[in-house]
Structure 1
Amino acid sequence: MSHIAVFGAGSWGTAFSTILAGGGNDVRIWGRRQEVVDQINAGVNEDYLPQTRLSERISASTDPEEVVGDAEIVVLSVPSQSLRDNLTGWAPLLAGGDRVVVSLMKGVELGTTKRMSEVIAEVGQVPTERIAVVSGPNLAREIVQQQPAASVVACADVASAERVAAACSTDYFRPYTSADIVGAEVGGAVKNVIALAVGMAEGMGLGDNTKASIITRGLAETTRLGVALGADPRTLSGLAGVGDLIATCMSPLSRNHAFGVSLGQGMTVEQVQAEKRQTAEGVKSCASILELARHHGVDVPITEQVNNAVNHGHSVQNMVRALLSRARKHETD
């Protein structure tokens, strides 16, 4: 049994905490809002996972130092664009010892185009061998219902990956290990953008042929970008790549998919943001992913068109026309 700290009381942070508790660990969650912390200490998180009873092994606090305590593993699950600011205050709690710091976040930082593990290493002063990434087809609602699922724990250090995998292994959640952090993070970030595109297509009333085409070509541009950054292309064909991509693009439980559907139905970004209470990471990350791809000379046409729709006011109809009017080429180029 271990003590594990989880920073982030949202849907995925709470759902992952239930996995850790199910693996026999005592889990303390840091929450920004006292009302959410109070709910968790009462055994629920109605704001993010309504009608779900939490394990007695899970507790919560607004005090980061209290949450970390003697934790052997620290899990970070906050919106990707807020990670840097949060880490500025948390960094002293992460330094030293042999704690493994785990990223559940799936985004690329605006302005720096850094992946989340890079932000953790830079701001948190955490050695690379103590940074792990968990990524896969893991929709929070299905996880807390204990529906069978698998994921990838990626870390440069095999022993650290195994520590995290052991902590989150249950009879319904199967973690695999990998050394490819880049592939896991690129797959997790770009799939949110592709899910926005699939959602937009669905919102426009387009069918499965269209959605399957977007998913497949989305995987192609995800793999191009990952390989350019040093990823193993096999990672993008696995759970952290195509697995996560399918779940996020096709499920109504996916925040990015649902956001895209609303855009496809004619709502503006501002209107959807006002209606949705939870973060759709692809909305924030599409611009930084596009910038990162351009810096490395990688063609990412779906990401480019999603960015045009989200950040430059282009209509979703323009997105479809722009993608279909591109010059023909060999599929595997």
Structure 2
Amino acid sequence: MSNVAFLGGGSFGTALGILLANKGYKVNIYDRDKNVVDDININRKNDKYIKELNIPKNVTAYNNLQETLNNSKFVVLSVPSHVIRSVSRSLKGKVDNDAIIISIAKGIEEGTNLRLSEVIEEELPSNKVVILSGPSHAEEVAFDIPTTVVVSSKDKDAEAKVQELFITNNFRVYTNNDLVGVEIGGAVKNIIALAAGVCDGIGYGDNSKAALMTRGMAEIVRIGQKLGGNPETFLGLTGMGDLIVTCTSPHSRNRRAGFLIGKGESTEEAIKDVGMVVEGIKACRAFYELKEKLGVEMPITDVLYKILFENKDPKDAVVALMERERKSEIY
């Protein structure tokens, strides 16, 4: 079996590394944090991100990028969306042209509004790129709890290879050739999850969350179709599936950050307390700018943007949503 390299020793990268190691692959993980590298190599743990792990011996962590990449035919970018470009750029001249690049981040690039696959393609034009998305909290994948995800690529052969790479009895992998829809669904649901957390933090109930998730799905479909996605994709794993798990799970960083904001913390305080990257915050800014440019109606994104970046009181924001002009649900 060929080696699989993970760039980033965070929670999801580590979880997927364990999955592949249990399938017999030699897994190399690169991380800048020497404490993470030592914890993996010496203790077979990664307590910074997930407690109580038992990391197999065929997982090795490195501080050196080139060592990590040696003989790797699959390279997984297990880093936040805002560093996808710089990490992809760092691979130039170091990764084989036939290596498949797999991104597990969810978002779009601020400033350019490019999808992450497009960012990677700009930096590594010779490599095939595959996106892995869907409802898959690392805290459950790491302990082999049944999970289902989707992979998508412009290249069907690469897509099929990545499906085969990851699929197990407890980790089911579908393919979907709607790359736009898969990426947009995975990115926008983080915005809705943040808003769901705000509702929970304020103290609202199930009615409120059900309404927010349903109307949030309408926003995902609206912007996704505008960008060329297939509406059926958003009813699948990267849309509805990911939305459900991210809006309701205690594992969700986005929901947790929103909850703290709903309780009265500032955006900066919530990020600090969560202690990890909250993708929905950057996604909210990026999609707010994009929907303004495209003329797409996204009222939840609007009010969340005002809460996050203009210090609007969360309760006042909900009132503004509820008092919007009357209209038909389906239009």
Q: TM-score range by the shorter chain?
A: over 0.9
- Write the distance in 1 (CA, Å) between the matches of 2:66 and 2:125: 17
- Write the distance in 2 (CA, Å) between the matches of 1:176 and 1:237: 14
Of the three residues 280, 289, 292, the one matched with 2:290 is: 292
Confirm or deny: 8 A CA contact 1:161 1:177 kept in the other structure: yes
Q: CA deviation at 1:41?
A: 1.3
Confirm or deny: 8 A CA contact 1:165 1:175 kept in the other structure: yes
2:45 paired with 1:44: yes
Q: Percentage identity across aligned positions? A: 39
In structure 1, what is the equivalent of residue 169 of structure 2? Answer: 171
Confirm or deny: 8 A CA contact 2:7 2:78 kept in the other structure: yes
In structure 2, what is the equivalent of residue 56 of structure 1? Answer: 57
Q: Deviations over 1:61-92 (max 9, x none)?
A: 11111111111111101111122222222222
Of the three residues 195, 198, 201, the one matched with 1:197 is: 195
Confirm or deny: 8 A CA contact 2:199 2:209 kept in the other structure: yes
Q: Deviations over 1:173-208 (max 9, x none)?
A: 000011111111111111111000000000111001
Q: Once superposed, what is the RMSD of the aligned Cα atoms?
A: 1.2
- Write the distance in 2 (CA, Å) between the matches of 1:94 and 1:182: 26
Equivalent runs, 1:60-79 vs 2, <5 Å: 60-79=61-80
User: Secondary structure of 1:6's partner?
Assistant: strand
Q: CA deviation at 1:295?
A: 2.1
- Write the distance in 2 (CA, Å) between the matches of 1:159 and 1:28: 24
- Write the distance in 1 (CA, Å) between the matches of 2:221 and 2:32: 36
In structure 1, what is the equivalent of residue 142 of structure 2? Answer: 144
In structure 1, what is the equivalent of residue 214 of structure 2? Answer: 216
Equivalent runs, 1:250-265 vs 2, <5 Å: 250-265=248-263
Q: State the AA in 2 paired with 1:101.
A: I
- Write the distance in 1 (CA, Å) between the matches of 2:304 and 2:154: 32
Q: Deviations over 1:274-294 (max 9, x none)?
A: 222111100122110111222
- Write the distance in 1 (CA, Å) between the matches of 2:304 and 2:92: 34
Unaligned runs of 5+ in 1: none
User: Secondary structure of 2:92's partner?
Assistant: helix
In structure 2, what is the equivalent of residue 35 of structure 1? Answer: 35
Q: Deviations over 1:120-152 (max 9, x none)?
A: 01123345xx11100010011011121101000
Confirm or deny: 8 A CA contact 2:256 2:274 kept in the other structure: no
User: Secondary structure of 1:72's partner?
Assistant: strand
Q: State the AA in 2 paired with 1:74.
A: V
Q: CA deviation at 1:273?
A: 2.0
User: Secondary structure of 2:61's partner?
Assistant: strand
- Write the distance in 1 (CA, Å) between the matches of 2:94 and 2:324: 50
- Write the distance in 1 (CA, Å) between the matches of 2:15 and 2:139: 8
Aligned length: 330
Q: Deviations over 1:192-241 (max 9, x none)?
A: 11000000000111001100111011111101111111111111100111
Confirm or deny: 8 A CA contact 2:2 2:71 kept in the other structure: no
- Write the distance in 2 (CA, Å) between the matches of 1:223 and 1:20: 33
In structure 2, what is the equivalent of residue 306 of structure 1? Answer: 304
Q: CA deviation at 1:110?
A: 1.3
Q: CA deviation at 1:114?
A: 1.3
- Write the distance in 2 (CA, Å) between the matches of 1:105 and 1:48: 16
Residues 126/197 of structure 1: CA separation in 2 closer, same or farther (3 Å cut): farther
